[in-house]
Amino acid sequence: MRFFIDLDQGDLIRGWIVPDNPLAVSRVVVSVDGRRVAEVPASHTDITFKENGWHSTGQCTFQLTEQEVPGLAGLPRLDLYDADTNVLVYSRAPQDGLVQQRLVLLNTSIHPETVLQAALFRHFQQCHFGLERLSDEILTSTLACRFVGSALLSGAITVPRYEGFFTPDLALSAILVHDPHVEMATRMLWLKAQAEAAADPARGWRLGRRAEAALFSKDYDYTDIRSLKRYFRMLPEPAYHLLYNPLTRQLGTRLPDDRLNPGNSIVAIEILARVGIVGHRSYFEAFASTLFHHLGLDVPLPVPTPIPAETLALAERLRTVRAVEDMLVFDIAMADAVTASLAKGWAG
């Protein structure tokens, strides 16, 4: 599915949605205060969609007027969704007090930066979270549709593939780096927590290939060093993929399945240097204050979610396992460089 918004002039909203099924006619759902008030099919044809091979007829453009949505001009807030995928296409909101920037918040942890997202949500006209779960076509449309100048876009996307959509002239980008050992511990505990779901045929499919990694992880005792060493000797490919230099993979490869080699670490460092705001979880306040300052927000800073004691204890044990150092060598180098830079100007 692809989409774009052309205009919103109060009594008229026009855009297009190209459905996954080239024979289908796309439909846009209008929601006001969480209540579905209309479902409008595309009514205009643009031969360009047919010429590009995206659609069989080109009937993909929708137009909303007072006829389709009574009182449209007087609605201060409304949301448009694709009827088939339920993907948010456009949000209308009063502009007073909103941040007039597009912010791309790059999540590097398996757990998203929910504290930051929650603090920033009300300051933007349109927000998209969990970008990594979107298909390439939907993600590209989300990043490329710059009609909305106040947008918060957050997720763990592979940066080289989409960096062109958030260059400094188009958006402010920000990334919060995590301690590699703590992040590995977080991911390992996440895998163990997913074991029950992975064993359930009704739920396991949601995990994809990570289901194998979750089932593998449940049989190991993370509190025992011998068990940990055996864990890393026997890692199945899905677990290895999730745990091996994840930051370098996110910043240094174009596709999630690309092979990771030393050259990718150089690419990752170069891309990290181009991110607008770079922070470290150990200096959360510094990152949050810098981010909010660039956004022009004079509001209380969010407090980071405490890292569980179990995670910190596992991270310390992982520091003693030689195999772990080999698996995180690129990420450790980047994280150390970030903390060294921050230490010069901020107290931890």
The tens digit of pLDDT for each residue in 276-303 reads 999 999 999 999 999 999 999 999 999 9
CA 138 to chain centroid, in Å, comes to 13
* Phi, psi (rounded to 5 degrees) for 94: -60, 140
CA distance 172 to 160: 16
* Strand extents, DSSP E, the chain: 2-8, 13-18, 27-32, 35-41, 44-45, 59-64, 78-82, 88-92, 102-106, 126-128, 151-155, 172-177, 277-280
| Global confidence as pTM | 0.93
Residue 213's identity, in one-letter code, is A
**Is the pLDDT assigned to residue 348 strictly greater than 80?**
no
Pairing of strands 59-64, 13-18: antiparallel
The pLDDT mean for the chain works out to 95
Residue type for position 340 = A
Burial per residue of 256-268, b for 16 or more beta-carbon CB atoms within 10 angstroms, e otherwise: eeeebeeebbebb
Vertex 97 angle, CA 150 and 31, to 5°? 60
The answer to whether 334 and 278 are in contact (CB under 8 A) is no
The CATH class of the 1-92 domain is: mainly beta
The CATH 2.60.40 portion of the chain extends over: 1-92
Closest CA to 206 of 217, 216, 198, 196: 198
pLDDT digits (tens, 9 = 90+) for 95-131: 999 999 999 999 999 999 899 999 999 999 999 999 9
DSSP letters, 187-200, are: HHHHHHHTHHHHH-
Closest CA to 58 of 23, 7, 20, 15: 23
Task: Name the segment(s) of the chain with CATH classification 3.40.50.
Answer: 94-348
Query: Strand 102-106 relative to strand 151-155: parallel, antiparallel, unpaired?
Result: parallel
Specify the CATH class of 94-348 in words.
alpha beta
- Rounded to an integer, the average pLDDT of 158-184 is 97
According to DSSP, the residues that pair with 94 across neighbouring strands are none
Each residue's pLDDT tens digit, 210-260: 999 999 999 999 999 999 999 999 999 999 999 999 999 999 999 888 989
Residue 225 tokens read as 């060093």
